[in-house]
Chains A and B, each alone.
Chain A
Amino acid sequence: MKKLYITFYKKTILCYNSSMYFRKSLSLIIAKTLIKFLRTIGRGGTSLPGKLALKIYPNILKELSSDISSIVVTGTNGKTTTSKIISTILEQSNMSFISNKSGANLISGIATVFIESHKKNYKYALLEIDEAAFKTVSKHIDVRYLLVTNLFRDQLDRFGEITHTLANIVEGISNCPLATICINADCSLLSSIGKQVNNKIIFYGINQPFPSTDYSLSDAPYCFFCKTKYDYSYRTFGHLGGFSCPNCGYKRITPDIAVTTLKVMNEKYSKVDLIVDNNKISIKINLPGEYNIYNGISAFSIGYALNIDYKILISSLATFKSGFGRMENMSLNGVDTNIILVKNPAGLNSVINYLSSLSKPFVLTLILNDQFADGTDVSWIWDVLFENLISNINMISHIYISGIRKYDMALRLKYANLPEEKITICKTTKQLINIISDPLLVSNTSYILPTYTAMFDLRKSLKKQFKLKEFWK
């Protein structure tokens, strides 16, 4: 008789009967009980149950997900916002689906989602998957639609180099030959996937530069294939744009879904014109910021791949509400508060571009943590162009800094030569919340930019103090 040891809350249980059927049932029972237990005691319970179930029965995810078509969103930035838009599209199309809403995007979180919906007959799963975890998760699930949002430098201490991340994604795609893949045509790294796999590919892109294009930043200046410097006819953001290699001829291809005109970009939304299959379509994207135009059209491309009516796509993009921490809007004692997750230079630079365009006064809060999920190396803040905030410094009424690495962040702002009298370091989250939720101190709008674990801490404290809803619901 085989022995099976299970370690559960530091106690090891020894089970003698370990036939496959027994293991599967056991893993389901334990995981489901654990989900209930964790919810009861007020914890999210989004990863641990799946982790344990996979340990007991490694095939659990594969078996539970075999009849479900998975729509996967991966890439460096914009995964959660894009997933949120896609979920609105699916809801408005009356399609039944499960999803990992709260950003538990490693294999354990994905397994938890399928365990929860076991025997509930869903047809689709909308899954946001970590770009490094994708190659493993894709072995277990049936990926039919894949969106790769973009590739930027992100937490290199965890992922290694950007080309390794790309290689991981390509390896993951080899596990899902049936998947239709939606790719950003403006990204020279991702566009190369088209030359590396045989899947059906839908390209989306933007045919003109963003107003705030900064030509100094690029994560991929040299040809992916021959290492010659790219020529650009225009750039939108970072290394994205109309690239072409003068040596080997590798270049941006004309996207299937192309933004032809940027019509309106204001503090609440953007309006753009698209060309799809020779049809001209006007769309409104219900979030401000240039980078959210990419998020909008990438979600559109998944809807297009799913053959969903343009009318539904247009109304979903115009009405969706942003997800957990991605420009989440709330009122704290009447203070209009916006939380925007920041985790890498490309993402934070685009938020700074956005903040620099605001014409009403606001309070800015930066919370920098350095736990595993944030990236343990905080050096990336030196790649962020905080100097660009100076152009709009009159609109910034004050800057608060908090988090484990608050002194590093404060130092960065000192070296960006932002006015010292406008900067205050808060030692605790409690102290910070008391200040930024005080309408006497914050008269208008407040933007809070936390890293990943800082966002969880903040959300937990806000939930307690202001009775906000549970994040996993």
Chain B
Amino acid sequence: MKLTIAHLYPELLNLYGDGGNLIAMKNRLNWRNIECEIVKIPLGHPFNAKHYDIVFIGGGQDFEQEVILKDLKGDKTKQIIDAINNDVTFLGICGGYQLLGNYYKTKDGQTYDFIGALDLYTIGQEKRMIGDFMFSSPYINNKLIVGFENHSGKTYLGDTVKPLGIVKKGYGNNGEDKTEGARFKNVFCSYSHGSLLPKNPLLCDYILQTTLQKKYNITLSDLDDTLENKAHDFIVNRF
């Protein structure tokens, strides 16, 4: 058994330890004797979504957004939208999450058209939303997910997109409506960067299970998550 993960723009969208999510998925598959290959798709390289079980898009700096938008235009955008409609698993973090939406309007009023795969949009603001945060997610029995958010964009979800969870502490999507992240078909998005999946093994396994079920119809075995839970609970107990 094997899952292949595409890492889009690894040289640009790799902020705040986002790679930890790939490290978590790969290890949690390997520890169950499931192979995992991570394929880097840098800028300018062709992307055939059919070859991948999971597509990962991380966060980047504003400086790099324009370079990426130019590269995404045309075929890549079509590949991504088709793949999402064919239930391929996506994980979008921070900037990668925003890119999957309709557009980004900067605080100066400039609008950038994004991929438009998910019905959501983002508005830039002066104040950054930074800090440890916590939300509960219906996809893991309303248990808590912890993370660290650092974004100036406020994201608003359209009707067809569900939030990944409900904010308990911190800002989440916009600091207003208590939603955090997004779920649409097999697309998972969050503002929690870095060690989202390492510290939230339930969410990591849910994403892997969703993908494996579709491909092999198997159920993941349990792992010893004592240490993962200690790191998780440390943040929960902070609040």
The CA of A381 and the CA of B12, in the complex, are separated in Å by 18
Which chain A positions have C-beta within 8 A of B17?
379-383
Interface residues of A in 229-280 (CB under 8 A from B): 229
B39 / chain A contacts, CB cutoff of 8 Å: none
Using Cβ atoms and an 8 Å threshold, which residues of chain B touch A162? 61
CA gap between A225 and B22 in the complex, in Å: 31
Chain B CB within 8 A of A222 CB: yes
- Which A-chain residue is minimally distant from B150 (CB atoms)? A157
For the side of the interface on A, what is the size category? 20 to 34
Q: Which of B118-169 contact A (CB under 8 A)?
A: 128, 130-132, 148, 150
Q: Does B96 contact A (CB under 8 A)?
A: no
B61 adjacent to A163 (CB under 8 Å): yes
Asked if A163 and B63 sit within 8 Å, CB to CB, the answer is yes
Among the 9-residue stretches A112-120, A404-412, A440-448, the one with 4 or more Cβ atoms under 8 Å from chain B is A404-412
- Among B80-88, B206-214, B223-231, the stretch that binds chain A is B223-231
Counting CB contacts under 8 A, is B89 at the interface?
Answer: no
Q: Name the CB-closest residue of A to B152.
A: A160
State whether the Cβ of B92 lies closer than 8 Å to any Cβ in chain A.
no
A interface, by DSSP: helix, strand, loop or mixed?
helix
- Contact partner of B11 (CB less than 8 A), chosen from A218, A408, A414, is A218
Contact with A411, one of B16, B66, B132, B227 (Cβ below 8 angstroms): B227
Judged by a CB distance under 8 angstroms, whether A227 is at the interface is: yes
Let me know if B130 and A157 touch, CB within 8 A. yes
**B116 cross-chain contacts in A, Cβ below 8 A:** none
Contact across chains for A379 and B20 when beta carbons are under 8 A apart:
yes
Q: Which of chain A's residues has its CB closest to B15's CB?
A: A156
Q: How many Å lie between the Cα of A115 and that of B17 in the bound state?
A: 41
Interface size of B by CB at 8 A reads 36
Residues of B within 8 A of A378 (CB): 148, 194-195
The interface residues of chain A lying within 8 Å CB-to-CB of B132 are 376
Query: Is A411 a contact of B195 with CB atoms below 8 Å?
Result: yes
Within 8 A of B (CB), among A392-437: 405, 407-408, 410-412, 414-417
Q: Which residues of A contact B62 (CB under 8 A)?
A: 161
Residue B43 at the chain A interface, CB threshold 8 Å: yes
Tell me if B173 is interfacial: C-beta within 8 Å of chain A. no
A410 vs B195: C-alpha distance when bound (angstroms): 13
Q: Answer yes or no: B183 CB below 8 A from chain A CBs.
A: no
State whether B231 touches A407 (Cβ < 8 A).
yes
Task: Decide if B198 is an interface residue (CB 8 Å cutoff).
Answer: yes
Q: Shortest beta-carbon distance, A91 to chain B, in Å?
A: 41
Chain B residues within 8 Å of A222, by CB: 12, 64, 67
Q: Does A177 contact B (CB under 8 A)?
A: no
User: B27, A415: Cβ atoms under 8 Å?
Assistant: yes
Give the most central of A157, A378, A382: most B CB within 10 Å.
Answer: A382
Known: A161-B63, A383-B17. A377 touches B227 (CB 8 A): no
Is residue A323 contacting chain B, with contact meaning CB distance below 8 A? Answer: no
Nearest B residue to A227 via CB reads B67
* Given contacts A157-B150, A379-B193, A415-B198, A227 and B66 within 8 Å (CB-CB): yes
**Distance in Å: Cβ of A410 to nearest Cβ of chain B:** 6
A378→B148 CA distance, assembly (Å): 9
Q: Are A405 and B16 in contact (CB under 8 A)?
A: no
Add 10 more A-B contacts to A221-B11, A376-B148, A414-B227 (CB < 8 A).
A162-B61, A227-B63, A376-B130, A377-B194, A379-B16, A382-B198, A407-B230, A408-B199, A411-B198, A411-B231
Which positions in B face A, CB cutoff 8 Å? 11-12, 14-20, 23-24, 27, 43-44, 61-64, 66-67, 128, 130-132, 148, 150, 193-195, 198-199, 227-228, 230-231, 234
A-B contact pairs, 5 of them (CB 8 A): A157-B150, A163-B61, A377-B150, A382-B23, A415-B20
CB-CB nearest 6 A-B residue pairs:
A379-B194, A382-B20, A382-B17, A379-B17, A407-B231, A161-B61
